[in-house]
Structure 1
């Protein structure tokens, strides 16, 4: 039979067939998480042995990603995805027929090889099948690929736990069910269309090179950082949740073990569905703080006396919201910045880094459990992940807000509409403020409209006399010191007990006032303020404000992260109050002058 006579599914049907196939395979990959307690009891496996089993699974994933994860760019998506599903089917058959340690090792290695080959391939396949004009990735493909991955990871352990509990005579029944589903998935993918033209001639084979594409190093670096940290959290739940439940909590139920993983992964998948129309910047603003809170709740659950199952499950849900948001943001960056011909290779790199995060910390934690308590492991893990998130946050935010436009174009940001730039507050760079290296830097942009003329606003902004705190609440008269003052410039230290900075004011262009930070207890580098004034036809004035905050110490960096996420809320309202105070002063001056004339 020739290819031309084979009945293929439509692109839409093929899209959902590939998504379902990926969900089944990822569910298979995490299903054993709920059964590790049974393996320990029935086969007398130690925790270190279970850790090694987990390690060989992760090694299989990384090996497969490096060797074949990128080959679908050359040989076709379907050509690579079918052998991956077949390998998964063989692994399910092996695990369904034996619980011996050799079978467990072989089954998990094969599972890792299958998942590694399929992960990048299926994600690229979904993008191809649903691509818009000129191959542009669609939002539906991005959402579906993340939900298929994370949703499958969530369902596998819960289904395994339920079957093991209600059919205790055959706890391996889940593998039989998954083997049937993988066989059906193999047939569905065989019928899916191949829509992307293949290179001719094909490139010479080489393993995947772990190199970040030169055209998007900042974006990829940020995405990979978030990717590693998110998968680290996933790994702890997939690899160690049952150990925590059976140990400190004395709960050995497979259903509970599966439910814990389901909550963490399932809430992550649900978050991605609910927030599917959100800009990525807003998604990060949700994900980062919620992840940090979730980690804190989980640590609290372990350190309470007695340890709290309720707190642990609440923490799992919060962590699910945070990791789901960050994972979707990172994956979208990779999909939208990678050239179509290198998309599978870029995704292979993304998942190599992710599955290293999934495996290495968990293996390390499994070994550490031989020497320290579980609650110490959780505390250490939470501190490391939280620190990594806090350090990486500015880079993640900037990668989603940079614009491929001339440096200095006010308010430009990647993938953000004009109204979003005005209202949301984070942008790339701004004309008039010296640009630093971008580390730990937040750039906040917002707009105010005032009844003051440009001259009146400048007069208020550059009034350094007593009572300045009435105009600018954050500028205490006790901390105000004028070092130098000219007709169009000033050198001033101002602030309060918490934050102060020395600023060089330049209003030589009365419609473009630049304040450059020359010293501060928190800020350095490119920090400063820019006010661009536009006279309106109705007599009012539009003020475009850009504030750059680049921390020079730990406190400054942490505060910079907060401003990067919530800059308009933190800085916009005080500036609005200052604008209104200047208007009130203008009105008072006008009233006084009228009274004098009268």
Structure 2
């Protein structure tokens, strides 16, 4: 891997790492701040609000002002978010603020970083670039929870030290990312006149049917799957766990993220054009396992469910990013990548959907319905793919 590619990948890893440092502590925050179930899920969901508020402009800004500036900004904000979360251990408002900022970080950094990798690696390596972007992001997601659990086990101040470590790591990587070659001709873009924000999805007219029929609906599952694994199932089953809930939540987050790394051998065996549908089918199996775990109170089932859901998410992400790289043109690559991630992160609201509808319709019923809808998306994927390519 070339130096520039390695450093951008490392930047994506650090961004992914920062978003998951606090994940194992959801139950700790709930108990420490005496939060309701919905308030606990809100800690997770405001992160999505930060993402969605940023993604549509992030791609356009990076197409205009360059990938490097946006990724550096996301890293700097990531350090700020961790600093605020240290204060959030005693303040629900600061906790939510820190999570929103980390959402903004993901909105700025992940789509832009993926687009930058695709440009650095060139048109002939779009699949490899998508693979690298997915694996390093999931690697960051997966590295944070076990380290947070380790701090909770062995170290003092578990709601402080992990965030300080992330701040130091982030500040160390910023100068390295600043040295990477910029792939956008910023001077040429500036000559086109002042930038005006606009809603621009970056979907080429020739690929609109394929994106709307096939890629878009399945992209939502990219984070709908893992969010259920590490933000819902462990919380639902926390009262049945004999071990520390931080350990269970942390290991669930780690299993989900590292399950995403299993997508590499899977994606090599599935044609890219149909892999997103296969990922949905794999994820449906994970939902079935998670639902059984909740109904029976068998919390050890959460871990295999998390691994399966993580692998499914990785398959859909790699296949989707590869297709996006093949469909887009250089002038709108950032915008289309951000649109793809916008749909993906919308799926992160799934835990809030379940916790909100559960009291009215029954949590089991809601889980079964969501599982059936996901299975339907998987079953109809081949048909929708054909309709999209007509």
Mapped partners of 1:220, 1:311: distance in 2: 35
1:104 partnered with 2:92: no
Q: 1:385 aligns with which of 374, 379, 383?
A: 374
Highest Rg: 1 or 2? 1
State the Cα distance separating 1:74 from its structure 2 match: 1.0
Matched, 1:265 2:257: yes
Residue 182, structure 1, aligned to residue 170, structure 2: yes
2-structure distance, mates of 1:238, 1:52: 14
**Deviations for 1:441-472, whole angstroms, at most 9, x for unmatched residues?**
xxxxxxxxxxxxxxxxxxxxxxxxxxxxxxxx
Secondary structure, aligned partner of 1:196: coil
Judge conservation of contact 1:31–1:158 (CA < 8 Å) in 2.
Answer: no
Offset, 1:175: 0.9
Residues 33 and 380 from structure 1, CA distance in 2 versus in 1: closer, same or farther, beyond 3 angstroms? farther
**Aligned counterpart, 2:287:** 295
1:369: Cα distance to partner? 4.2
User: What residue number does 1:525 align with?
Assistant: none
Alignment of 1:426-441 (within 5 A): none
Q: Which position in structure 1 is the counterpart of 2:2? A: 12
Structure 1: distance between partners of 2:280 and 2:52: 27
After TM superposition, give the deviation of residue 21 of structure 1 in Å.
1.2
1:34–1:254 CA contact under 8 A, matched in 2 = yes
- 1:25 positional shift: 1.0
Displacement after TM superposition at 1:331 (Å): 1.6
The corresponding residue for 1:144 is 132
Where does structure 1 lack aligned partners over 5 or more consecutive residues? 1-10, 403-437, 439-598
Give the deviation of 1:211 after TM superposition: 6.2
- Identify the residue that residue 44 of structure 1 maps to in structure 2: 34
Of 103, 107, 110 in structure 2, the residue corresponding to residue 116 of structure 1 is 107
1:70 aligned counterpart, secondary structure: helix
Return the TM-score normalized by structure 2: 0.90
Q: How does 1:213-292 map to 2 (within 5 A)?
A: 213-221=204-212, 222-249=214-241, 252-272=244-264, 275-276=267-268, 279-281=271-273, 283-284=275-276, 286-292=278-284
In 2, the alpha carbon distance for the partners of 1:75 and 1:362 equals 35
Alignment partner of 1:193: what SS? coil
Query: In the alignment, is the contact (CA less than 8 A) between 1:293 and 1:318 conserved in 2?
Result: yes
What are the equivalent positions in structure 2 for 1:381-460 lying under 5 Å apart? 381-396=370-385
Contact 2:218 2:316 in 1 (8 A): yes
Quick check: 1:63–1:113 contact (8 Å CA) kept in 2? Answer: yes
Alpha-carbon separation, structure 2, partners of 1:320 and 1:398: 28
SS of the residue aligned with 2:41?
Answer: helix
Q: Is the 8 A contact 1:164 1:173 kept in 2?
A: no
Q: Is the 8 A contact 2:68 2:180 kept in 1?
A: yes
Distance (whole Å) between structure 2 residues aligned to residue 75 and residue 264 of structure 1: 34
Measure, in 1, the Cα distance between the counterparts of 2:23 and 2:198. Answer: 30
The within-5 A match list for 1:563-574 is none
Q: 2:151 aligns with which of 138, 157, 163?
A: 163
**After the TM superposition, which residues 338-357 of structure 1 pair with which residues of structure 2 at under 5 Å, given as runs?**
338-357=328-347
TM-score between the two structures when normalised by the length of structure 1 = 0.60
- Specify whether residues 167 and 378 from structure 1 end up closer, same or farther in structure 2 by C-alpha distance, changes over 3 A only: farther
Give the structure with the larger strand fraction: 1
Q: Say which is worse superposed, 283-292 or 349-358, in terms of deviation.
A: 283-292
Aligned length: 385
1:255 aligned counterpart, secondary structure? helix
Deviation at 1:284, TM superposition (A): 4.9
- With 314-323 and 350-359 compared, the bigger mean Cα shift is at 314-323
How far the C-alpha of 1:249 sits from its partner, in A, is 4.5
Tell me, in whole angstroms, the C-alpha distance in 2 between the residues paired with 1:241 and 1:21: 30
Q: 1:151 to 1:378 in 2, by over 3 A?
A: farther
Distance 2:242 2:354 in 1: 19
- Asked whether the 8 Å contact 1:225–1:392 carries over to 2, the reply is no
**Which protein, 1 or 2, shows the higher relative CO under an 8 Å CA cutoff with sep ≥ 6?**
2
